[in-house]
Structure 1
Amino acid sequence: MSEVKVLGYSERGVFNSIIFYLREHPEKTSGFISTLDINEDFFNDDKVSYTFLNEQSFSEFGTNDWTIIAEKGDEKRVIFIEGKVKTYSGKYDIEEEFDKIKKDKNYEGVSSNIFAQLYYKYLLSELGTQSQIDDSVIGERVKKIGENGIVKKAYKNYILGASSFYYVAILPVILRSDGLIKKFNALEPKMKYKNIKCAYWGCIDSFFRGADATEVIENFKYNKGQIY
């Protein structure tokens, strides 16, 4: 029988390999979530079902790298995940991103700043049944969900009604969650700080090596020098 190997470029390639691995091995999902510094017992229950939204647009609230929806009965949790990589010829500097947005919360391209990306997802979680948020302190003050049918369906079916939200940055540098929270505090965006989490690509790589997840391991190897 012919063999097919799938390799993807950069963080998108790694995310895709993880997503499709977990679809085939759902029992590993709670372990993966723990690598994100999320330790709520809810995720350890075998009765929890998961939906993954891959590169889902939320209109003016931004496109999210990976959204995990966990449901059990009437309970729902949502994890917004944004990943950053160092790039092959350079490095990723969280201090540079922080300094840039602290100096100017409206600079051109601010929507790709990790602090803006997670903040916009917080605003999305606060949207409720409204169609827009009017008091964003980063970027444009007004953020609208828009009229795109798929975006509205994703929001209504998977985001609306969740009882807890997590906002996760996966970085190519080691930074504790409380370190990221301190930086958000300095920006004063009025978020629920306890649910801001920070993870390191190296720890995620180690988790999947321990799980002998061939597809994920191959994609980390393929992107060696690019991710972390």
Structure 2
Amino acid sequence: MTNEIQNTVTFPQLNSPAPDFNAKTTHGQRSLADYKGKWLVLFSHPADFTPVCTTEFIGFANAAERFAEMNTELLGLSIDSIHSHIAWVRNIKEKFGVTIPFPIIADLSMEVAKSYGMVQPGASDTSAVRATFIIDPQGIMRAMVYYPMSNGRAVNEFVRLVDALQVSDENSCATPENWKRGEEVIVPPPHTVDDANAREDQGHNYVDWYFSKRAL
């Protein structure tokens, strides 16, 4: 039975259209189409009024201005009601002095959570795991990260990842481990023998035919 249930779990795919949604949020109705032309970070949490989730929401709230500078919107989700979300947002403001500036989807039907693979048998049958999705301005899924229920995310990594994705798109390059803006980027490897032979003389920070970096 467990295997049968697991086989029914669907997951979005990288570089494919993100699952569409039209959902009630703390800021009114929201659909994926509302974010066309902007990057979107959609993230789920297991439940309102829980300590790990509270720290994460404070982290996303503190980074909201930086995301906005990158033309990126934030959208939270949990399988709780609008009234629960509102009460929790007010509690965070009262107890921690932090305003939550982004909407939170109320997904009591689990429709959005299931379409994004947030509900996973063996990890969470009735709540959403800690999942984070980065969707580009064309509605294409560009990154997916799933965390266990017990451990909080590092919000700065998603700031870094959105920045890196944007730089890669704008400059036709890749970025190395833990890349940060201002550092060199990776030149795409050559695809022919002639290109590989010519790579050393192209003015890059050359290590070998397959590994070169350059400044932006």
Judge same fold: TM > 0.5, yes or no. Answer: no
Larger radius of gyration: 2
Which one has more relative contact order, counting CA pairs under 8 Å at least 6 apart?
A: 1
Shorter-chain-normalised TM-score: which range?
A: 0.3 to 0.5
Normalized per residue, which structure has more helix?
Answer: 1
Q: TM (normalized to structure 1)?
A: 0.37
